Amino acid sequence: MAYPADLADPQVRLTLLGLLNERLGELNTTLGIRFTDAAPGRLEATMPVAGNRQPYGLLHGGASCVLAETLGSVAAGIHAGEDGVPVGVDLNATHHRAAREGIVTGVCTPLHEGRSTATYAIEITDPDGHRICTARITCQLLRRKL
Segment 88-132, tens digit of pLDDT = 999 999 999 999 999 999 999 999 999 999 999 999 999 999 999
Confidence (pLDDT) at 146: 60
Q: Can you give the pTM of this predicted structure?
A: 0.93
Helix (H, G, I), strand (E, B) or coil at 142: strand
User: Residues 38-71: pLDDT tens digits?
Assistant: 999 999 999 999 999 999 999 999 999 999 999 9
Sheet holding 42-48, edge to edge: 34-39, 42-48, 103-113, 117-125, 131-143, 84-95
> How confident is residue 3, by pLDDT bands cut at 50, 70 and 90?
low
> How confident is residue 82, by pLDDT bands cut at 50, 70 and 90?
confident
Topology classification of domain 10-143:
Thiol Ester Dehydrase; Chain A (3.10.129)
Give the pairing type, strands 42-48 and 103-113: antiparallel
69 is catalytic: yes
Confidence (pLDDT) at 1: 47
* Nearest C-alpha neighbor of 79 from the set 138, 14, 134: 138
Given 69, 101, 113, 123, which residue is catalytic?
69
Non-local CB neighbours of 114 within 8 Å, separated by 6+ positions: 141
The full set of domain ranges for the chain reads 10-143
Task: Name the average pLDDT for the chain.
Answer: 93
Backbone angles phi, psi at 121, to 5 degrees: -105, 135
